[in-house]
Structure 1
Amino acid sequence: MLRTSLIHLVLAQRNAALRIVGASIVGASRPRRALMSTTSTSTPPPKSAAPSASPGVDQLIASTSQLKKPDAVSTVPTMVRGDWVLFHPVYTPEEMRAVQVLHKDAKTISDKLAYGLVKFARYGFDVVSRYKHKEIPPASPMTVEELRKEGYLLDEKGWLNRILFLETIAGVPGMVAATLRHLTSLRLMRRDSGWIHTCLEEAENERMHLMTFMTLRDSSIWFRALILGAQGVFYNMFFLAYIISPRACHRFVGYLEEEAVLTYTRCIADLEAGKIPEWTDKPAPEIAIDYWRLPADAKLLDVIYAVRSDESTHRFVNHSFANLEVATDVNPFALREPDMHVKGGKIAFERSESENYVRESHAIMRQKKENSDA
């Protein structure tokens, strides 16, 4: 199976290169297609044209089809905004800047084990990605290039590699949890109390982070092979762990999201300080503008703020889940979620707070029904 997957990676990498070559053959001066558009701006070749000798050109022509959309873009018309995804929060600028770097103390044995595994995984990832968060000497005269050479800063490629790898892993836990809870609901023939949807929303949200950053840079075959191996190991390990202890797994994800918030906070700080000059005025990808309802003139910095807010949401939700009885308690976020002023500045709801939050949600629902009936 691994051999087959690697063969597919090689073919995909070759076809990607052929599409680039094909683009220059078909017409280098053609306007670039809008990411969210399903209407081709190119003129199809005459039917009498000779068949292309390059499969890359054929794929390029086929990609203008309404059905064939290989890129990380939407397949719906531009007038439809966001209806192609599950629910996810949309933040105000004030909410995006309300996120704080927080940590939940590990008190129980399972919490300490979960936190230790996250720190171990982070250490290994830092070694592989050659990431070191070294404090820059005060009033340092070194340029950005010199700071990068000395290992004080990551360059654009380094940040993208780190983010892409992080998001390919972060999208696994929600899908595993949703799958197992779905199967449990079927097997026991009882309702799930709202957990499945929230877990699926989390998985898709992390996947959309990946789709967004994939518009900035394609990955090499070796990077894709690394992701293939890491995902295969992590998925199966998390699957088995969730069967044994769902609570510990949600705590693990909460700690994992703490690290994600920290990573994006450092990225934002570097970007705002001019230490990633390639991204200073880079426009936000259209897929991100559509997904997070960003202004049309949004920058990549706004996207990273939105992604960090999402990670803060996952941090809060999973730590709150770990405080519940995962087999019997209702998902307190099934009807609504707190805004980012709560999720960004508070690590989690304790079980009693979740119960009060559910009670408040029910009261709001009853009030809305009474108002609509009046």
Structure 2
Amino acid sequence: MNHNAAMKLSGLLLRQVGRGALSTSTFRAFATEGSRHPGGGLAWLGAPMAGTRTKATLASPDAKESEKAAVLPSSAVSSDSASKAIVSYWGIAPPKVTKEDGSAWKWNCFRPWEAYTADVSIEVEKHHAPKTFMDKFAYYTVQTLKIPVGLLFQRRHMCHAMLLETVAAVPGMVGGMLLHCKSLRRFEHSGGWIKALLEEAENERMHLMTFIEVARPKWYERALVFAVQGVFVNAYFLAYVISPKLAHRIVGYLEEEAVISYTEFLKDLDNGTFENMPAPAIAIDYWRLPPDSTLRDVIVVIRADEAHHRDLNHYASDIQCQGQELKQAPAPIGYH
């Protein structure tokens, strides 16, 4: 970027920062001017992410409008446009993302490249037989915890699923955070386990985002989530610090119960006890389902996700049982 262009952009930015916020036209002018000079501006903001799973188009600003805004003095900017500050954390307008067909992407909780197709061929009835004392402790702990949950929800599958997902999304985040801190303390790699556990947490959260499109929790169910999450986050944190092997085994058995719960959900959908309504749009986009998919199709892919989480956590616990660090056995790739 030459000296004159740099001075022009600096002056433009300083005038706008003095007003308290960057306007849309100013940001576009900065991005456009910078893109005309190698290494300058914020041209990288419009670049698509590398390694995307699906094609996503980022809408670029109009060049003529940007160029015109770049040469206009601050006094020429209308008070109306200057008052419309960009609504984002850093004052920068997010890129417009579109689907492959050109339609607008409406979800801000995930992007097209984070969508995937679930592997529903996984064995859902698999069970890890508890052998050691720690395995039995983990298994009977989960069996004890499911008794009050079963009495509370019985066959109210949607409410049960929402509570289940608010809990199931915790272990991956807690475990990933602790492994992240451990990696920093020891100055060593994690074998991919940090990313695997965080992806598990995100996948579980997307299950919840799907269910709240179908049913809204009542006030006492929200209160129950606060109480359960407050206890479970701290309990699992301590369990993972004391014994990652035990923590992963507990999650493995929790996921086994989740698979059983969704299997019962499917039975009630098949016999007509629960209405098989159309699938939410968020589920169709996230799992790349056909447009005419139903709630049953969504439960099938969610159950497959839970089965993959089950196998991942039992595998992680087995590694710990063999006295190995997680980093010594790379995490499975694409475990979804």
* Corresponding residue for residue 56 of structure 1: none
Is 2:129 aligned against 1:105?
A: yes
**Sequence identity (%):** 41
Greater RCO structure (CA 8 Å; 6+ sep): 1
* Corresponding residue for residue 99 of structure 2: 79
User: What is the CA distance between 1:221 and its match in structure 2?
Assistant: 1.8
Structure 2 residues without counterparts, runs of 5 or longer: 1-84, 89-94
Q: Distance in 2 between matches of 1:260 and 1:119?
A: 12
User: What is the CA distance between 1:218 and its match in structure 2?
Assistant: 1.3
Query: 1:126–1:237: structure 2 CA closer, same or farther, 3 Å change rule?
Result: same
- The Cα offsets for residues 342-369 of structure 1, whole Å up to 9 and x where unpaired, read as xxxxxxxxxxxxxxxxxxxxxxxxxxxx
- The Cα offsets for residues 68-126 of structure 1, whole Å up to 9 and x where unpaired, read as 9xxxxxx96441679627867523xxx52654322111001111111011001111211
2:124 partner amino acid: Q
2:127 partner amino acid: H
- In 2, are the aligned partners of 1:110 and 1:248 still within 8 Å (CA)? yes
Q: Distance in 2 between matches of 1:184 and 1:98?
A: 32
- The Cα offsets for residues 300-343 of structure 1, whole Å up to 9 and x where unpaired, read as 11100000000000011111111103525434434454x9xxxx
Structure 1 residues without counterparts, runs of 5 or longer: 1-64, 69-74, 132-153, 340-374
Is 2:78 aligned against 1:90?
A: no
SS at the partner of 1:96?
Answer: coil
Query: 1:289–1:261: structure 2 CA closer, same or farther, 3 Å change rule?
Result: same
- In 1, are the aligned partners of 2:262 and 2:299 still within 8 Å (CA)? yes
Which sits farther off after the overlay, 82-91 or 326-335?
82-91
Query: 1:205–1:86: structure 2 CA closer, same or farther, 3 Å change rule?
Result: farther
SS at the partner of 1:191?
Answer: coil
User: What is the CA distance between 1:210 and its match in structure 2?
Assistant: 0.2
* Corresponding residue for residue 118 of structure 1: 142
SS at the partner of 1:324?
Answer: helix
For residues 49-198 of structure 1, the aligned pairs below 5 Å read: 77-79=97-99, 84=111, 90-91=117-118, 95-96=119-120, 98-129=122-153, 131=154, 154=155, 158-198=156-196
* Corresponding residue for residue 145 of structure 1: none
For residues 173-322 of structure 1, the aligned pairs below 5 Å read: 173-276=171-274, 278-279=275-276, 282-322=277-317
1:106 partner amino acid: P
Which sits farther off after the overlay, 217-226 or 228-237?
217-226
- The Cα offsets for residues 116-174 of structure 1, whole Å up to 9 and x where unpaired, read as 11001111211222x1xxxxxxxxxxxxxxxxxxxxxx3xxx21110100000000000
- In 1, are the aligned partners of 2:116 and 2:286 still within 8 Å (CA)? no
Q: Distance in 1 between matches of 2:328 and 2:86?
A: 42
- In 2, are the aligned partners of 1:87 and 1:201 still within 8 Å (CA)? no
Query: 1:315–1:189: structure 2 CA closer, same or farther, 3 Å change rule?
Result: same
User: What is the CA distance between 1:236 and its match in structure 2?
Assistant: 0.2
Larger Rg: 2
TM-score, normalising length: structure 1: 0.59
Q: Distance in 1 between matches of 2:86 and 2:165?
A: 28
Q: Distance in 1 between matches of 2:138 and 2:247?
A: 7
- In 2, are the aligned partners of 1:88 and 1:201 still within 8 Å (CA)? no
Task: Could you list the structure 1 runs, at least 4 aligned residues long, displaced by more than 2 angstroms after superposition.
Answer: 65-68, 75-78, 80-89, 95-100, 325-337
2:262 partner amino acid: Y
Query: 1:190–1:215: structure 2 CA closer, same or farther, 3 Å change rule?
Result: same
Q: Distance in 2 between matches of 1:303 and 1:181?
A: 32
2:163 partner amino acid: F
* Corresponding residue for residue 26 of structure 2: none
- The Cα offsets for residues 21-79 of structure 1, whole Å up to 9 and x where unpaired, read as xxxxxxxxxxxxxxxxxxxxxxxxxxxxxxxxxxxxxxxxxxxx9959xxxxxx96441
For residues 29-44 of structure 1, the aligned pairs below 5 Å read: none
Query: 1:175–1:288: structure 2 CA closer, same or farther, 3 Å change rule?
Result: same
Q: Distance in 1 between matches of 2:130 and 2:248?
A: 13
1:215 partner amino acid: E
Q: Provide the aligned C-alpha RMSD in A.
A: 2.5
* Corresponding residue for residue 3 of structure 1: none
TM-score, normalising length: structure 2: 0.65
Q: Paired residues, what number?
A: 236
* Corresponding residue for residue 142 of structure 1: none
SS at the partner of 2:279?
Answer: coil
